[in-house]
Structures are given as C-alpha cells and as structure tokens.
Amino acid sequence: MYPSGRFFVKPTMLLSDVILDNHLVLLMLEHFEIDFCVSSKTIGLVCAENKIETGLFISICNLYNGFSPSPQAHYSLKDFSVIIRFLKKSHTFYKSDKYPEIRGLISQLLNKNNSNEIKLIEKFFDEYFAEVTEHLDYEELVAFPYFCSLTETGEHSLYNGTEKFSVKEYHDHHSDIESKLADLKNLLLKHVTLSNELPLRRKLLFSLFELEFDLRIHSMIEDFILIPLAEKIEKKGLHG
C-alpha cells in the first residue's frame, strides 16, 4: 500500500519536506483547505495559522504516510468540527473531482473501444459510485448533523424522523466503500485487453488507485478518530 522509507511526521518538520517525500499529502491539505504554498513553515506553525490542533493534524498526516493512529492519541472537542469539515471536503473531492475524472476516462476508452468489456467497466463503476454517493449522503444528512449536535447542544440523541440516532447506529451502518475498487482494478489489469491505449489506461488506473487510497484514509479517520471521540462525548453526556 505504501512505499517503504516513509518517515513518521513530527511538528518540527517542514511541511514542504513532507509533501516532497509523499505527494499524496496534497490530498490531505486540500481537505484541510490549506494552501499548497507552505514556504519554509513547520507543521506546528501551519497548524497554528490554520487553527488546527497539532495532534490531530499529525495523526491524519501520518495516516497518509502509512502509520495507524496511536491508541494513546488524545483528541479534544476542538478537533470535532475540524474532523467533520475535513470529511465533508473529502466528500466534495470524491463527488465533484474524482468521479467525473474517472467517468471521463472510462468514456474515452469506450469511445475508442466500443467493447462489451469497457461497457461492463462503465456499468460497474456507475453502480459502485451510486453506492458511494448513498454512503456519503447518509453521513452528510444524518451522521454529521448528529455529531455536531453532541458538541453544540450537549445532546446525545438526534431524531431522524421518529427514530433516535447514536454513534452505535452509525458504526453499524458504516461500510467499506473502497474495497470494490479492487475488483475494478483487477478487471483492467487481468481481463481487459486493449490495443494502443496504454496512456489512457494508465491514467485511469492511477486515478482509481488515488481514489482508493483516499477513501481508505477517510474510513480510517472515521474508525480510529471520529467514532471513538464521538463515543467518548456520548458517554460524558450520558453520565455527566
């Protein structure tokens, strides 16, 4: 999944050095809405300027570098809204950037190779991304408003229609939205033979790998940072 040799990010490091070592960190900065022109600023300084807790930034940055969050990592109420904003921006990236990009590349392949194999890939991806969109809409319309209510009002339940909602319900609904991309990549690598379309297929595969990578980080942030923090806040609300 990750090239070997990546280093564990620390607050005193220059953010530019981290980016040069791993260009995928640019995805993280975009989700944080941080300008890519970081000059010679340390991570700590960039966090201070953008009002992001250094611990949270370091945890997410290290996810992009291939390190899982420490079980001992501490996240506070200040991190909650930042995490939600980060995840919402990643949703915009998936729906408004990566999906149109991948869909456009598949359409180009179909225009040049009107074959049943490419039609199958087109159908598979459209059905897959419909599932992804359903998952993202659920987060934005149900889960995220509830999470925000935990800190804004101190409530530990939110009514969606007539039903109460909780972190447990979100956890049960939470799905692995990146795994089916492996099937699509396998189709392209093992079963679809096209003549003289290597550049286009390479662009499509690169884009699929990038989407899969960022979706995996998205899920890890939810599983290892957002959900544990929300459960902690819920318990505090329930027990005072």
**Mean local confidence (pLDDT), 117-132:** 91
> In this predicted structure, what is the pLDDT of residue 17?
96
> In this predicted structure, what is the pLDDT of residue 238?
47
> In this predicted structure, what is the pLDDT of residue 4?
45
Give the pLDDT band (50/70/90) at residue 158.
Answer: very low
38 Cβ contact partners less than 8 Å away, ≥ 6 residues apart = 14, 15, 16, 19, 46
The least confident of 77-91, 202-216, 220-234 is 220-234
Residue 237: enclosing H or E segment and its boundaries?
helix 227-239
Give the pLDDT band (50/70/90) at residue 237.
Answer: low
Residue 175 has pLDDT above 70, yes or no: no
> In this predicted structure, what is the pLDDT of residue 202?
92
Write out the DSSP string of 12-24.
TSBHHHHHHH-TT
Write out the DSSP string of 77-130.
HHHHHHHHHHHHHHHHHIIIIIHHHHHHHHHHHHHH---HHHHHHHHHHHHHHH
Residue 196 has pLDDT above 80, yes or no: no
**Mean local confidence (pLDDT), 90-101:** 96
> In this predicted structure, what is the pLDDT of residue 3?
46
> In this predicted structure, what is the pLDDT of residue 1?
43
Better-predicted residue by pLDDT, 26 or 76:
26
Residue 122 has pLDDT above 60, yes or no: yes
Say yes or no: 136 and 97 in one domain.
Answer: yes
**Mean local confidence (pLDDT), 148-157:** 63
How far is residue 150's CA from residue 237's CA, in Å, rounded to a whole number? 8
From 74, 89, 105, the end of a domain falls on 74
Say yes or no: 67 and 87 in one domain.
Answer: no
> In this predicted structure, what is the pLDDT of residue 191?
83
Burial class (CB in 10 A: 0-12, 13-18, 19+), 57: buried
Give the pLDDT band (50/70/90) at residue 150.
Answer: confident
Say yes or no: 70 and 86 in one domain.
Answer: no
32 neighbors 47 (Cβ within 8 angstroms): no
Say yes or no: 83 and 70 in one domain.
Answer: no
Say yes or no: 105 and 66 in one domain.
Answer: no
165: helix, strand or coil: strand
Say yes or no: 60 and 99 in one domain.
Answer: no
How far is residue 136's CA from residue 12's CA, in Å, rounded to a whole number? 35
Say yes or no: 63 and 97 in one domain.
Answer: no
> In this predicted structure, what is the pLDDT of residue 173?
61
pTM of the model: 0.88
From 16, 49, 74, the end of a domain falls on 74
> In this predicted structure, what is the pLDDT of residue 55?
95
Say yes or no: 228 and 111 in one domain.
Answer: yes
- Which residue segment(s) compose the domain that 27 sits in? 1-74
Say yes or no: 91 and 56 in one domain.
Answer: no
User: How many distinct structural domains can be found in the chain?
Assistant: 2
The rounded mean pLDDT for the chain is: 86
Say yes or no: 36 and 90 in one domain.
Answer: no
**Mean local confidence (pLDDT), 46-61:** 96
How far is residue 130's CA from residue 166's CA, in Å, rounded to a whole number? 25
> In this predicted structure, what is the pLDDT of residue 5?
55
